[in-house]
Chain A
Amino acid sequence: MIECRNLAKNYGTLTAVSDISLHLREQEFISILGPSGCGKSTLLRLIAGLEVPSAGQVFLQDKEISGKKISLPPERRKFGMIFQDFALFPHLSVEDNIAFGVNGSASEKQQRVQELLKLVSLPQLAKKMPHQISGGEQQRIAVARALAPRPRLILMDEPFSNLDYQLRQQLRRDIRDILKHEGVATILVTHDQVEAITFSDRVLLMRDGKLVQSGTPEEIYQHPQTLWASSFVGEANHLSVEWQSPALNSAFGLLNVPEAIGKEARILMVRPEDFVVESATDGDSNGIVKTVDFSGSVQTIGVELNSGETIQVSGSPHLLWTPEDSVKITAERYLCFDSAGNRLNGCSSGSASK
């Protein structure tokens, strides 16, 4: 329903967004994920019509709404927006906030307000003023207000970052359910990978104003396009590797990869859960346990490899290691990256062999 073509935005000499194309389907949830200052909020504001693009176009149902000649004002796009500070109108009561964007007679407005208060499970707050309710309640009211005019699309700009951890998780689920129930397409902007992964059907990864990768959360986690993406989404161990014909030499032995790829490979990426740790019998140890962190469902150990590199390995909490244990480490799954940090196709998985 929404399509961006080669969208760009400059502020003077500063490029906030450059050459971004994306396509959002009906009822789809996507997240735009990236570190602060990567231009993700600007991209959202370009779609909202709050900013005018320097180049490129935005289409709504194949009709151009932002471009060289046209810029449909935000109030005529019928998109709902949820802001980081919620932006509830402090001079209006909760019900007046929700009714703000609703057209129709007083009784129609009243009915819609009641529906939405029920939807966000806060019917008792109708007469309260925004400063009298909690942060989590303000958040839900902001969602109700954005949904009230029946928008085609919901845009969310870091909507959970003002809330504390526990509340954030609860609200994320609730709000996702509400939006799914309403069947409205949603774009979420966030710097929090967990939020992006758990909230959306598809994640767009942004860095320095550019789109780095787009895909389902699993795709991005399992097959990051770049080294940066591998460590921005999830934990990653980066180990240096060297081609020694006929195999790739790593800290835990030689890896079988095709020669053409092996020659390009410089860095090996292994997720902490993709290592296998065994007690070393004499002679085959390739690392020593240095730290042991127990955090409930997983145990994370820091291992200093014989190569001098340190890796983080996570596993079942039942195998309790202690510092200075000699261990034998193998990698069950890995990815290779070239000197520019881009992933090499055909160099993945398989297990290391001696």
Chain B
Amino acid sequence: MRSSAHSGGWNFFTLSLALLFALPFFSLLFTAASAEENVWVHLLSTVMPGYLKNTFWLMLGVGSGTLILGVSTGWLISMTEFPGRRIMEWALLLPLAFPGYIIAMVYVELLEYSGPVQTQLRLWFGWQNFQDYWFPPVASIGGAVTMLSLVLYPYVYLLARTAFLQQPATLMEASRMLGKSSKNSFLHVSLPLARPAIVVGVSLAMMETLADFGTMQLFAVQTFTTGIYHTWFGAYNAPGAAQLALSLLMFISVFVFLERYSRKQQRSHTQNSIQTQHPRNSLSGIKAVAAPLFCLFPVVFGFALPAGLLIQWAANSWREVMLERFFSDAGNSLLLAGLTAVLAVLLGVLLVYGSRISKRRRIRWAARTVSLGYTFPGPVVALGVLLPFAWFDRTIDAWMQATFGISSGYLLSGTLVILVFAYLVRFLALAYGTVESGFGRITSEMEDASRSLGKNTWQTLKGVHVPLLRGSMLTAGLLVFVDVMKELPATLMLQPFNFSTLATRAYGYATEELLREASLWCLTIVVVGLFPVIFLNRQLRESAPQNLQDKDHD
């Protein structure tokens, strides 16, 4: 092939990177298969039924919770007009800033037996102890479902809202002209058309739920993620943990498939239509009051209340907090997040470019395998990275001992290298995807023009692509940065001795029931988490067709 004559170096680079990033997955496969006794049967008979039962209830609960909250708010915001709609439009995204484990920490502190709510109730009603009354337990499956629904519904909201807005207005009109009332038109046309987008949103929420570790651990809900953690740390049973990890991946792959399939379906639903503006249905009377209140509900409980409490607790515990500890943790988080973000953007650009200039399908495939890492939950990535690194360290150490009589110890496993590598496995997809969509706006003719003007691939990348991609690269970096800041399980499993980040320290405090002391740490993570929300909101405004009122204001 003529065109690939010059991209040999690029192909080699792309392939080796893809292999490196597939390493964790293969190490899991290898470890799971190398079990000496049949761990699988043991797992099936002991922990598996419990995990399956809990996972089932979590899926059902978070699935319906995010579905109901996301679709109803998405519909209200996109199809109707009511007082405060424009504020609600972005406020509904705010709960995304809360990682599950932080909102869980806040509600445990608020609602536990010695927390302010129950204390106040006992005072009011004169109850003496927990035997006098019943209070829903926070640390339960129901609690976990509520917490995760509150912070994950924005996925569904975001996608449903965009899907409703992008439906051509003529479809609803055609349905009305064919004799269906506006309610029936919504049920038979609008909702089925938005269904693929809604399924994508719910699938993303499901994947996050399956991958969640912090909330489950805090609420003592036994699922695959906590199982992997305990099987590894509690029993150092690598094959067992690997088998659990693989079964979890099997579950996740169902949702990955569902998500990709629905995206494809949605594309065929939105082709060749003229974008027309939807007339918003102005709500009046009781509906004009009920709609903003309804939208306010998830915003208050998913963001305003927990954020307010964190601010209050942080303000109250200001003096007792060890600020040096805070700054050292923040520094560590900053270092890890910054380093990973820069590397992820760099590798992302090289990978996308490499697969773009390669005409071979195999290379494109290889580049895409990198994006699978994002579907791997933190504990799975950590385990998959830890096993080969530990093997590498042991081998080097043995060789050094044998040859030079000195021990090299843990060369990589005890350092930040392994942590950054694990982050890259998990989050490179995020940078890859963002950079790829940026590349989409650069036509292949521009590339050809540069090449025909005598520039080689490197010069073209530097002179044409990078300047045009600056925005996408910045966005990609930001997204990776924030996700690394929030990441808990992999950091917990891989962080060096005597080292902690904002996330792991906050979690550490929480396990010692020192939740108020953790508030400054939590607050910082939430504030950082707000940046992508702002970015998402801006992107939303640009992508959605403007409605008439927006134009009038301009």
Interface, chain A (partner B; CB < 8 A): 12, 48, 50, 73-76, 78-81, 83-85, 87, 89-91, 100-101, 103, 129, 131, 145-146, 148-149, 155
Interface of A: prevailing SS: loop
**CB-CB < 8 A to B273: which residues of A?**
85, 90
Interface, chain B (partner A; CB < 8 A): 168, 170-171, 173-182, 188-189, 192-193, 195, 268-274, 552
**CB-CB < 8 A to A145: which residues of B?**
174, 178
CA distance A83 to B269 in the complex (A): 17
Interface of B: prevailing SS: helix
CA distance A149 to B273 in the complex (A): 24
**CB-CB < 8 A to A101: which residues of B?**
177-180
Let me know if A83 and B170 touch, CB within 8 A: yes
Let me know if B181 and A87 touch, CB within 8 A: no
Known: A12-B552, A100-B180. 20 other contacts (CB 8 A): A50-B177, A73-B176, A75-B180, A78-B179, A79-B177, A80-B178, A81-B173, A83-B173, A83-B174, A85-B170, A85-B273, A87-B171, A89-B174, A89-B189, A91-B195, A100-B175, A100-B178, A100-B188, A131-B272, A146-B177
**CB-CB < 8 A to A85: which residues of B?**
168, 170, 272-274
**CB-CB < 8 A to A12: which residues of B?**
552
A-B contact pairs, 22 of them (CB 8 A): A48-B173, A73-B181, A73-B182, A76-B179, A80-B178, A81-B177, A83-B174, A85-B168, A87-B168, A87-B170, A87-B171, A89-B174, A89-B193, A90-B193, A90-B268, A90-B269, A90-B273, A91-B192, A101-B179, A146-B177, A148-B178, A149-B179
**CB-CB < 8 A to B179: which residues of A?**
75-76, 78, 101, 103, 149
CA distance A149 to B180 in the complex (A): 12
Q: A50-B173, A90-B193 are in contact. Are A149 and B268 (CB under 8 A)?
A: no
**CB-CB < 8 A to A75: which residues of B?**
176-181
Let me know if B189 and A129 touch, CB within 8 A: no
Let me know if B274 and A89 touch, CB within 8 A: no
**Which of the residues A48, A90, A103, A131 comes within 8 Å of B177, measured between beta carbons?**
A48
CA distance A48 to B552 in the complex (A): 27
CA distance A76 to B178 in the complex (A): 9
CA distance A129 to B271 in the complex (A): 12
Nearest B residue (CB) for A157: B170
CA distance A87 to B177 in the complex (A): 11
A251 CB, min distance to chain B CBs, angstroms: 46
A36 CB, min distance to chain B CBs, angstroms: 14
A104 CB, min distance to chain B CBs, angstroms: 12
A246 CB, min distance to chain B CBs, angstroms: 59
B181 CB, min distance to chain A CBs, angstroms: 6
CA distance A193 to B425 in the complex (A): 63
CA distance A91 to B269 in the complex (A): 7
Let me know if B177 and A80 touch, CB within 8 A: yes
Nearest A residue (CB) for B193: A91
CA distance A232 to B274 in the complex (A): 27
Q: A83-B170, A85-B273, A91-B193 are in contact. Are A74 and B268 (CB under 8 A)?
A: no
